[in-house]
């Protein structure tokens, strides 16, 4: 297992618009497994491929993750080439991101979504998601468009975060 280095804002690669996954091979499986390990290592509930420098439309998530639970209670998902086909009312929630350490902010998202996606083997699925799961999916899908949750904030606030993180991770 490899624990990947997570790129932090303002790393320019985080602006990459990811391209669709077309090869469902062993390498993809290995990268997904390592991404899951990396996500747990960093106590995250989601991690997009762009965040580890892999520009493909893929993310991993486990919204039920809790440090206190045993490893057997983990329930990771690999979501490939996701597409939201339906969405409902809006919700506002506080979000954070492994690429923007220690900052949180309220972001407006749609509520319940219908998602079309592929698994790591290329099989097609659909699912309905609401609450935290829906927020997590929308947050990770933003990463695939080169977008971070702080892009929803006023410029002044985002610049302040950039300065602080640049200083800390330079």
Nearest approach, Cβ of residue 44 and Ni ion (Å): 8
The helix (H) or strand (E) run that includes residue 114 is strand 113-118
The residue nearest Ni ion at its CB is 97
Residues lying near Ni ion in the complex (CB under 5 A) are found at: 97
Catalytic site positions: 140
Contact present, 16 and 146 (Cβ < 8 Å): yes
Apex 19 CA angle, 104 and 117, nearest 5 = 75
CA separation (Å) from 3 to 24, 93, 100, 170? Answer: 21, 29, 18, 21
Nearest approach, Cβ of residue 97 and Ni ion (Å): 3
Peptide bond into 10 cis (omega under 30): yes
* Cβ atoms within 10 Å, residue 111: 14
Closer residue to Ni ion (CB): 47 or 80 = 47
Nearest approach, Cβ of residue 47 and Ni ion (Å): 7
> DSSP character for 30?
H
Closer residue to Ni ion (CB): 31 or 97 = 97
The helix (H) or strand (E) run that includes residue 41 is helix 26-41
Closer residue to Ni ion (CB): 97 or 113 = 97
Closer residue to Ni ion (CB): 18 or 97 = 97
Which distant-in-sequence residues (6+ apart) come within 8 Å of 156 by Cβ?
none
> DSSP character for 62?
-
């Amino acid at each position: 297992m490899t624990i990947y280095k997570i790129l932090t804002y303002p790393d320019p690669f985080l602006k990459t618009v990811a391209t669709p996954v077309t090869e469902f091979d062993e390498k993809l499986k290995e990268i997904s497994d390592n991404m899951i390990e990396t996500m747990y290592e960093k106590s995250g509930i989601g991690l997009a491929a762009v965040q580890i420098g892999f520009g493909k439309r893929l993310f991993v998530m486990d919204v039920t993750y809790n440090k206190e639970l045993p490893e057997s209670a983990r329930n990771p998902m690999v979501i490939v080439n996701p597409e939201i086909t339906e969405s409902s009312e809006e919700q506002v929630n506080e979000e954070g991101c492994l690429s923007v350490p220690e900052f949180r902010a309220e972001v407006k998202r749609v509520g319940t979504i219908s998602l079309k996606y592929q698994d790591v083997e290329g099989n097609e699925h659909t699912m309905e998601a609401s609450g935290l799961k829906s927020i997590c999916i929308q947050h990770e899908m933003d990463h695939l468009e080169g977008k971070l949750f702080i892009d929803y904030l006023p410029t002044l606030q985002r610049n302040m975060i950039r300065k602080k993180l640049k200083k800390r991770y330079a």
